[in-house]
Amino acid sequence: MRTSNLLFTLLVMVCSRVACADAGGLGPETIEALQSSFEMDAHTRAMYNAITNAHITDLALNRDLLRQHNDLYSHKIDVKGVTNQRSSGRCWLFAGLNQIRHGVRQRQGLKDLEFSQVYLTFWDKLEKSNTFLEHVIRLRNRDLMNRELVMVLKDPCPDGGYWENVVDLVNKYGLVPKDVYPETNSSNATRSMNSVLAQLLRAHAVRLRKMSEDGASLRQLRERKEEMLQDVYRILAINLGEPPTQFTWRYEPGKSGKKENENDGDGAEDGESDDGPDTQQDIEELVMTPRRFFREFVAVDLGQWVNLFNDPTHPVGRHYTIRMSRNVADGRDIHYANIAMDTLKEIAIRSLLDGTPVMFACNVSVDQSSELGIMADGLYDYDSIYGIDMRMSKAELALYRNGTRNHGMVFVGVDLHEGRPVKWRVENSWGSDRGKGGYWALYDDWFDQHVYNIIVLKKYVPEDVLQVFEQKPEVLPPWDPML
């Protein structure tokens, strides 16, 4: 009997090992093999001792690369004032407005100019809420496990966006200077406000679907939607303040000179030495609506910019649009021409040499140091630490979601050597305490691997590239890696 039990136990153990392996699980034999494969040799022990007592990035930092680094550029655009999106995901909005403001500042002769980002944030959140509810109405007959509906419900009113979203907002609502409508706690740190909005919008989604199940018509659903948007407006107005419909803006023109007064006006006798003459600065005053300010003072045709991609996941020379990438329900989705990387760089350089900044989007999560203000391929050498090859192509990075367009910034300079770019000067929106006073050096090898698109004026784009936009666009799904 005892022998039978022992045989039964051994049989169960063997079967369990086989069954575990067959099911794809980690069986005892696999665990033993993994343990045997790890050898604590001298290099491994040195890495173990170092990493368990220090941050990984400090040890992985490529010192050879740092020794070759400098902050010199053959061509720099004169830009003023670093912006700060703080704890929000509004990089696209900051980058889009930064691209516009420098030219306006120079044309108007201003010392500095910053547009109100929170003004467009207010309208962006309202528009995205309306678009979310429109999606709920459109998908009202879909199962709740439907992929498209799940994507909509997962993030009803996100911070993120794209250049086309900037264009639609500015064309519809105009612009205001930042000192007319400054940031608030909720715009600087959007998580709590977004959480409240998400809960509200999902609750309204439940009500709209129940109305549809009870036989409500499309007209009735949209009438109820407009009532729901009153709740959204209330939350936004309390968190961000109501946006101005008209404003008075006083500013100092940068090209006007100072005039000396005849009298000192500081208590010293005339003719006696004091701290210098008083000065009088010319002040201009504008009374405008946001739309008029954009139309007459900013005076920029946003339709002159185009979106050019180096998308390694789709054929080049083609026109693409990504469905459900709009923030305004009756606005535009992303449209782009997919072109070769060398052509994309040539166009960006042409713009920069002419003094025009270039907005771009990239994967900022790889080989980037906020402390040093450097983006360079291989900035962190993890392969040497772990002795493991983790390399992937740009297409593989995108398709397997290790490389996503997660941040927007602006090129404001380039360092050319014998006509070829060595590195690019980048204006970020993370404040002046990060990077090198708010600017980054983006090396050209990093550009190849992690930059996906640029926004550039048509006048810098060759005719054959512009003709790509005349093609009927191929429609990509909202889960495409380029979104």
Catalytic residue (choose from 362, 407, 450, 453): 407
Residue 92 to residue 331: CA distance in whole angstroms = 17
Phi and psi angles of residue 297, each rounded to the nearest 5 degrees, phi first: -90, -50
Nearest residue to 155 (alpha-carbon basis) of 481, 479, 480: 479
Q: What is the four-CA torsion angle of 294, 121, 111, 435, rounded to 10 degrees?
A: -140
Told to judge if 91 belongs to the known catalytic residues of this protein, a careful annotator would answer: yes
Catalytic residue (choose from 98, 165, 194, 428): 428
* Helix, coil or strand: residue 23: coil
> Cβ–Cβ contacts within 10 Å for residue 48, how many?
11
Helices (H), 272-400: 290-292, 341-353, 382-386, 394-399
Catalytic residue (choose from 91, 98, 165, 204): 91
Nearest residue to 338 (alpha-carbon basis) of 211, 146, 476: 476
Told to judge if 157 belongs to the known catalytic residues of this protein, a careful annotator would answer: no
Q: Which residues, other chains included, contact 329 with Cβ-Cβ below 8 Å and sequence gap of 6+? A: 127, 130, 131, 134
Told to judge if 407 belongs to the known catalytic residues of this protein, a careful annotator would answer: yes
Q: Which residues, other chains included, contact 367 with Cβ-Cβ below 8 Å and sequence gap of 6+? A: 375, 376, 377, 378, 379, 380, 446, 450
Q: Which residues pair with 453 in a beta bridge?
A: 309, 361
Residue 51 to residue 44: CA distance in whole angstroms = 10
Helices (H), 359-435: 382-386, 394-399
Active site positions, annotated = 91, 407, 428
